Amino acid sequence: MKTVMADRRWIKEHPDLGTGPVPTDTCTSPELFELERERIFRRTWLNLGREEDLPEPGSYVVRELAVANASVLLVRGKDRKVRAFHNICVHRGNRLVDGEKGVCKGRFVCRFHSWAYDTSGQLTWVSDEANFYDLDKGVLGLKPIAADIWEGFIFINLDPNPSETLAEYMAGMVQQIHGYPFAQQRLLCRYRVEERANWKVILDAQNEVYHLPFLHITYPDFCPMNEHKFSRIQKFTRFGRHTVYSVELNTDHKMKPVESIAINANPRGGQVHPSMIGWFDFYTVFPNFCMLFLAGTYVTYNIWPLAVDRSIWEVSMYHPATEKPSERFAQEYSRCLLRDLLQEDASNHEAIQASLMSGALSHFQLQDEEIQIRHFHKEVRRHIFGEENGAAAIGNNRDAAELRLK
C-alpha cells in the first residue's frame, strides 16, 4: 500500500498553508460575494462544458451565468472552431438566442429588428441598413468572450483581457492529465441541483474524504483507513490555484451481491489510466470546476453561484461509450450509487449553510486531511483581498472585516 497512515503529514509538505482556523465569512457575507463576483468569476477561466456538447458546425449552447450577470452563447463555426459571445444583439441589446441549445443552420436572427449574425459572430444583415448613419457591419458583430479548449473541456474568461492563457492558468495539471482518454468516454447523465448553499460549502464538502465513513455510513469503506478507521488519502498535489487529492483502492472494501456482479460486468470501468495518481483522483480546478477520476470513469462538478446562499450544482457522469447491455447495467448501478450518496451530501450542504447564516460560527476548524479546503480558501481570499491580505487573512487568522476596510 502506498498510502502513509501517519497523522499530520500534509502540513510538512505545505507549511505555507498554516494550521489555524479558516474564516466562514466568505460563505455568508453578501459584500464578499460581490467581491467574488468581480475578482474571481469575472477574471478566471470557467468551464462551460465539453466539445461534444457542440457536435457539428452551427451547434450552439446558451449558458446563463447569474454570477456574472452574463448570458453566454457558445457556438461551433463552419470552420469547426468553438467561439464564445455575449448573447446580446449589438443593435439595442436584446437577448439574441432563446433556449438552451440547438443547431444554427443559417444565421442567428434577433427577433426585435431582425439583425442577423453568422456562427463566427459577424453581423451579416441589418434591416433597413441604408437608413442608419455611418453603420459599419464589418466592425460591429457579437461581443466576443475569450474561449479556449483544454482536453476537450471548453473554458471562457469574462475578462476582456485575460492575464493568462488557459494553458498557463491550468499550470502543471496539463502534464499530469495528458493522455487521459476523454474521447472514449460518453456523458451518461447530468444532474442539475439547485441548493440553498454557498458554492464553496458545496465544493468543500466534496473536497475531502474525512467525512465518508460518517456521513455515508452505509458505504463506509471507500477509502483506505488507519487503525482507528479514519480515512487517509494517498497524495495531495497543488498546481498553482488548483489541487488534486488522490485515494488508493481500498482492497478491504466489502462488496454486496449485486454490486459485485456490476463491478465484474464492467472491466473497463475498473481500469486505472496511467495519467491517474491514485484509484480515485479529485481535481479542484479553481474556482468552481471539479473533475473526479474514479478508475475507468470520470465525473465533473460545475458549481454555479446564484447568490451568497444559493447555487446550482451540476453533476455530469461520464463512462466508456458502450453498446453492451451488461456494461450499461454496471454503469447504471454506478450512477444510482453516486446519485444517492450525493443526495446525502446535498442535504448536508443546506444544513451547513443554514447554520452559518446564524453568524454563530466565525471559523472552520480543519484537520490535516482537510488541507485541500485550506488551500482552496486561501486561493479564494488571495483573489478577493489581494496577494498579501489574502495570505494574512488565513495565516494570521485575522478578521476579514478589518481587511475589507483597507
Partner 1 sequence: MNTLLPNGFSDLEQFAEWALPTSTDRNRKRRASSMDAINAFYNAMRPRLEEILAYLDQFSLQEMPQDAQRLLFLSLSLAEVTIAVELFHEPRVTGGCDPERFVVAREITP
Q: By CB under 8 A, name the binding residues for partner 1.
A: 186-195, 218-219, 256-259, 261-262, 265, 314-316, 322-326, 328-329, 332-333, 335-337, 339-340, 342-344, 346-347, 350
In terms of CB distance, is 164 or 350 closer to partner 1?
A: 350
User: Would you say 342 or 356 has its CB closer to partner 1?
Assistant: 342
Question: Could you tell me the smallest distance in angstroms from the CB atom of residue 256 to partner 1?
Answer: 4
Residue 225 Cβ, how far from partner 1 at the closest point, in Å?
Answer: 19
CA distances 235 to 243, 338, 372, Å, are 11, 23, 11
- Residue 50 or 383 with smaller CB distance to partner 1: 50
Helix (H) or strand (E) holding 10: helix 10-13
Taking the complex as a whole, the smallest distance from the CB of residue 55 to partner 1 amounts, in Å, to 13
Least separation in angstroms between CB 300 and partner 1: 12
Q: Are 26 and 32 contacting, i.e. CB atoms less than 8 angstroms apart?
A: yes
Query: In the complex, what is the shortest distance from the CB of residue 333 to partner 1, in angstroms, rounded to a whole number?
Result: 4
| Integer Cα distance of 304 and 287 in angstroms | 10
Q: Are strands 153-157 and 45-50 parallel, antiparallel or unpaired?
A: antiparallel
The DSSP bridge pattern shows strands 108-109 and 116-117 to be antiparallel
With b for 16 or more beta-carbon neighbours within 10 A and e for fewer, the 104-117 pattern comes to: beeebbbeeeebbb
CA angle 199, 87, 193 (to 5 degrees): 30
- Between residues 159 and 344, which has the closer beta carbon with respect to partner 1? 344
**CB of 1: closest distance to partner 1 in angstroms?**
26
Residue (125 or 191) nearer to partner 1, CB: 191
Q: How far is the CB of 99 from partner 1 (least distance, A)?
A: 14
Taking the complex as a whole, how short is the minimal distance between the CB of residue 280 and partner 1, in angstroms?
19
Alpha helices (H) in 163-273, listed in sequence order? 166-170, 173-177, 199-206, 212-215, 257-264
Contact 403, 26 (CB under 8 A): no
Cα separation values, 336 from 61, 92, 262, 371, Å: 27, 47, 12, 30
Please say which residue, 165 or 347, places its beta carbon nearer to partner 1.
347
338 to 145, 209, 269, 320, 375: CA distances (angstroms): 35, 14, 14, 17, 26
Which runs of consecutive H residues, i.e. helices, occur in 126-274?
166-170, 173-177, 199-206, 212-215, 257-264
Copy the grid coordinates of residue 185.
468516454
Q: Report helix angle 257-264 to 325-356, nearest 10.
A: 120
- Residue 208 or 327 with smaller CB distance to partner 1: 327
For residue 153, the cross-strand partners are 50, 150
Q: Which is nearer to partner 1, 43 or 335 (CB)?
A: 335
- For partner 1, give the closer residue by CB, 352 or 394: 352
Q: How far is CA 305 from CA 36, 154, 326, in A?
A: 10, 19, 38
Task: Say how far apart CA 406 and CA 156 lie, in whole Å.
Answer: 31
Q: Which is nearer to partner 1, 261 or 391 (CB)?
A: 261
Select from 145, 245, 204 the least CA-distant residue to 353.
Answer: 204
The CB-of-264 to partner 1 minimum distance in angstroms stands at 9
Min dist. Cβ of residue 215 to partner 1 (A):
8
